[in-house]
Amino acid sequence: MWWRGFEAAGRRCFSRAHRSWGKTAPAVDGGEEIDLTEKTTAKTFSALQAERHEQAERTILISCPSNISEKKFYKYLSSYGTINKYFFYEGFIDEQLYTVCKEYQITEENTRLRFLVCSLVKDIAAAYFPECSIRPFGSSVNNFGKMGCDLDMFLDLDSISGRNNTKTGGVFSMEYETKRVASERVATQSTLSVIGECIDQFAPGCTGIQKILNARCPLVRFSHQPSGLQCDLTANNRIAMRSTELLYIYSNIDPRVRALVFGVRCWARSQGITSNIPGSWITNFSLTMMVLFLLQKRNPPIIPTLDQLRDLAEAEDKYVIESHDCTFVSNNKIKPSQNTETLEELLQEFFEFYGNFAFNQMSINIRKGKEQHKPEASPLYIQNPFEQALNVSKNVNQTQLEKFVTSARESAWILQQEGIKRPMSNTKPWGLAALLLPTMQSSGGKSKKKRQPASERIKSLLDSLKANKETTGYLNRSNGGRRHICTVAW
């Protein structure tokens, strides 16, 4: 829902409009913004108060659908009298979602820290693989990362295996031989095992090294103490790099994409649907795919399907990894969507869509932008966009899926309640805060533990984020090729 505030030149003259309150948005009056500072410095307090009261007497607030033609609406209202100014007020939930996104996103310094940790790990790996690189992927770089998310790293040995076994330098020619191993997987496991050992023995600040080599995607997990980052190092994981780039492209198509993903991630966390601990929970990656799928299914769609992105690709975008087609357009040839739905409407749609989705039969597929029959019986089936025979949510069990569906239905219901979308009193949570409350509280049930009001919890969460930022360790590169690590508080 959008609000438009109109200030008439004379007395209030519009019927069927009501007065209400709202946060001011930029004035849209010949493209000029009101300069409040000029007025406040030039006038006495009482004169300004009187003027504001008089202005208020001539002002009305009209609630109207978001897709209304502003020009036509303005023209229509002008036929009743001259309009001095008009303002736009977006839905309050929209504003809250953009705030959550802004407050939770990874900061510039934290991004730099992540790249620096990659560079430190590269120094260790270079002892064995001098030309390797370590590249971050996943939420650290796909634009959906939240402060505190893990650092997924990819040991890129392509520059080494791509040596073609021969190198020429002047009159010399160097030949490399690669030891034969049973399979790519075995080679990856050995590589990670050796690097894991080196990190354990020699990498400053790296603790709690775990080699998880029998996973589908073998990895070395450790904690980098100075930066506070939890790190997952993988190798031979080029497809995940590509899906990271795909998510990055989707995040840039429309600002609603990021805001909705952040909002849904935040909601899922507060409902206990996701967790940092590996298990049968729905992961953030799966939630992101679910949001993207919903946005592809809107009418008109907000983002294109992966097949459409592939069709837009040019020769240089062609990318095939282990016979999987990972081609999609990488430039800005993607047209902006004509869809004008608000975030509030989209959030409501998310809850309604997934609260009623036929999870028992259908799968989610962002390549096609259409649900398809599930090829196997996993409770939640989200097709991997590139390795199409894989389910990215294979870990999710029936209990967790049911928990998700129940929470989605309940949140859809809460959002439909009158008065939930804007503050009515100081004590009752509203907007996003009402959604982030656990089930028992919002339905008025008796909860065992008395919890802080959600609005307070969000505030303290945001405060703790700020505090994190203030105490984040910073790493400095000193001369002589050696690094010193110092922690700076400011």
Q: Does 138 bind ligand CTP (CB under 6 A)?
A: yes
Which of Mg ion, ligand CTP, none is residue 283 near (CB under 5 to 8 Å by kind)? ligand CTP
Q: Which residue is nearest to ligand CTP (CB)?
A: 138
Sequence-separated (6 or more) residues with CB below 8 Å from residue 198: 124, 125, 127, 128
| Residue position matching structure tokens 């080196």 | 198
Is 284 among the residues that bind ligand CTP (CB under 6 A)? yes
Q: Which of residues 149-168 bind ligand CTP (CB under 6 A)?
A: 149-150, 152
Q: Which residues pair with 25 in a beta bridge?
A: none
Q: Considering CB distances under 5 to 8 angstroms, the limit depending on partner class, which of Mg ion, ligand CTP, none binds residue 273? A: none
> What is the DSSP annotation of 159-181?
HHHTTTTEEEETTEEEE--PPP-
Q: Work out what residue 432 binds among ligand CTP, Mg ion, none; the CB cut-off runs from 5 to 8 Å by kind.
A: none
Q: Which stretches within 328-397 are classed as H helix?
A: 343-355
> Min. distance of Cβ 288 from ligand CTP in angstroms?
7
Q: How far is the CB of 392 from Mg ion (least distance, A)?
A: 13
Residues lying near Mg ion in the complex (CB under 5 A): 138-139, 150, 152
Tell me how far, at minimum, the Cβ of 314 lies from ligand CTP, in Å. Answer: 23
Amino acid at 286: S
Q: Is 412 in the site for ligand CTP (CB under 6 A)?
A: no
User: Binding of ligand CTP at residue 285 (CB under 6 A)?
Assistant: yes
Contact 156, 132 (CB under 8 A): yes
Stretch that binds ligand CTP, among 141-149, 331-339, 421-429, 468-476 (CB under 6 A): 141-149
Taking CB under 6 A as the binding criterion, the range among 34-42, 128-136, 144-152, 196-204 that sits at the site for ligand CTP is 144-152
Q: Is residue 283 at the binding interface for ligand CTP, with CB under 6 A as the rule?
A: yes
Torsion 47-48-49-51 (CA) sign: positive
Per CB under 6 A, contacts with ligand CTP among 237-256 are 240, 243-244
Report the partner that residue 284 touches, choosing among ligand CTP, Mg ion, none (CB closer than 5 to 8 A by kind).
ligand CTP
Cα-only R_g, the chain: 27
Q: What is the b/e burial string over 250-259, where b = at least 16 CB atoms within 10 angstroms of the residue's CB?
A: bbebbebbbb
Pairing of strands 219-224, 59-64: unpaired
Binding mask 18-57 for ligand CTP (x = CB under 6 A): ----------------------------------------
> Residue 369: phi, psi to the nearest 5?
70, 20
Question: Between residues 234 and 296, which has the closer beta carbon with respect to Mg ion?
Answer: 234
Q: Nearest CA to 205 among 229, 176, 239?
A: 229
User: Which of ligand CTP, Mg ion, none is residue 348 near (CB under 5 to 8 Å by kind)?
Assistant: none
Q: What type of residue is 100? A: V
Is 303:288 a contact under the CB 8 Å cutoff?
Answer: no
Residues at the contact surface with ligand CTP, assessed by CB under 6 A = 137-139, 142, 145, 149-150, 152, 240, 243-244, 283-285, 384, 392
